[in-house]
Amino acid sequence: MNYAETLQYLYAHLPMFQRIGPAAYKKDLTNIRALCAHLGDPHTRFVSLHVGGTNGKGSVSHFLAALCQLAGLKTGLHISPHYKDFRERIKVNGRYISRAQVVAFVERHRSALEEIKPSFFEMSVAMAFDHFARERVDVAVVEVGLGGRLDSTNILVPLVSAITNIGYDHQDMLGHTLALIASEKAGIIKPGVPVVIGETHPESAPVFQRVAEEMRSSLVFADQRYKAVEVWSDWEHTIYDVYREGRLFLPSLKVEAAGPFQERNLATAFQVWETFCERAAVRWKAAPQDWRPERLCASPEGLLFPVRQLTRFMGRWQVIGREPTILCDSAHNEPALQLLWSQLAHIPAERVHVVLGMVSDKDSTRLLACFPPSARYYFAKANIPRGLDAALLRERAAAFGLHGRAYRSVRQALRAAKRAARPDELVVVTGSIFVVAEVL
């Protein structure tokens, strides 16, 4: 099989959450353990950082991978889902796993895949672990897929665990209260492994404290030690003053990322990095000062954090067009959408045009309440079985004062928005990672 045929085989034979939703979610670790045992337990052959949470875990994972690369470590990065190409899920020093390596993995282990019958995600996690072991990475940053306790990545015993925050998402699988969701996310806390929590919340903090105490794991809340304050931003970069315990730590740090969420993600990443360095410097016989962020980010132009350049970070607050400005953002739950629109409210644009699509297995009414009635809407269904019918989405949106037309495809909706928008207006593509994927 060639690469295209290999992907088609995987899509046809392995249940994929990205396409069919909760039916693909395996609520135990049996398959991933069996598959990794078949592969020789590759996840035990590299150091890892494990990153979970409701929002921001992808950004924090990319930030950590970039810091590892700047420190000279050969760095694996596993994320999910992908936008355009399956290989986005598995990178080493920012380079995708090759098509030939994907084909070879499936051909080499096809009989085991057909016997174990893993989900698509379980297979991709096993492939990532196998690739990282074969590439002899120094460290792998691994993003949790969904939840934590029963997520396929949770067979790792990392050097540091991180949980960015807790919010309402996937309640049908994780629970309908923040405390229940936190309990599932806290499942990645391992005995004796330090854990960093990104944001302090009165409902989730006691859960994390209890689990960490049970596991005898040290715990720190990043937002109680680090703070990133935006000084300046454009569509693609942000300059922050970063404070540690109230003292200016990184003045005028230029980060190759933008958007309303990143100050929290940056603070979380720096706390995880600090905790990681405390444990890892001895392993690599590195002097702690050599891995300090102010040294890693030093450049002739000042302090620079080239996240996109190093890791191929995409899909979050990403500009793909000018005149009109076309902004893509993968916000798809209440906390993320509320932050998105609070930031957009400060952007000078005569009118905002929104290309909007959602998945059918989420409560669209709660999400639609986050959108402003003043925008003009272009409703579309992502080209996946989970996509919510555009006409039905338009009907539901009308109840919230959100008006516009339904289109046959995301690309058709974007073309209509571009035709309607004046050069000084803004087009936003959002509501689902799968909608954003179709226009990148």
| Domain positions in the chain | 3-311, 318-437
Residue with tokens 């958007």: 259
Specify which residues 52 forms β-bridges with. Answer: 163
Q: Which residues contact 297 (CB under 8 A, 6 or more apart)?
A: 70, 250, 253, 303, 304, 305
So what's the pLDDT on residue 21? 53
CA–CA dist 231, 180 (Å, integer): 37
pLDDT at 211: 97
Q: What is the DSSP letter of 302?
A: E
Burial 223-256 (b: 16+ CB within 10 A, else e): bebbbbeeeebeeeebbbebbbeeeebbeebbbb
Of the listed ranges 206-220, 333-347, 412-426, the least confidently predicted one is 333-347
C-alpha to C-alpha distances, 4 to 75, 107, 110, 125, 151, nearest whole angstrom: 27, 13, 16, 20, 27
Sequence-separated (6 or more) residues with CB below 8 Å from residue 108: none
Average pLDDT over residues 379-389: 92
Spatial contact of 47 and 159, defined as CB atoms under 8 Å apart: yes
Give the relative orientation of helices 99-116 and 120-135 as an angle to the nearest 10 degrees. 130
- Given this structure, which CATH class describes domain 318-437? alpha beta
pLDDT of amino acid 175: 58
Share of the chain above pLDDT 90, in %: 76
Residue type at 72 in one-letter notation = G
Decide: pTM greater than 0.85: yes
Say what angle helices 178-185 and 205-215 make with each other, to 10 degrees.
Answer: 30
Phi, psi of 377 (to 5 degrees): -115, 145
**Multiple choice CATH, 3-311, 3.30.428.10, 3.40.50.261, 3.30.360.10, 3.40.1190.10:** 3.40.1190.10
pLDDT value at residue 20: 46
**Pairwise CA distance, residues 304 & 373, whole Å:** 38
Tell me the per-residue pLDDT of 29-53, one tens digit each, with 9 for 90 and over. Answer: 999 999 999 999 999 999 999 999 9
CA 277/CA 88 separation, integer angstroms: 27
Of 96-100, 109-113, 288-292, 357-361, which range is least confident? 288-292
Q: What is d(CA 205, CA 403) in angstroms, rounded to the nearest whole number?
A: 40
Among 98-112, 201-215, 334-348, the least confident range? 334-348
Which tens digits make up the pLDDT trace of 212-223? 999 999 999 999
Give residue for tokens 């998402």. Answer: 169
Question: How far, CA to CA in Å, does 49 sit from each of 306, 357, 384?
Answer: 20, 33, 31
Segment 92-110 mean pLDDT: 98
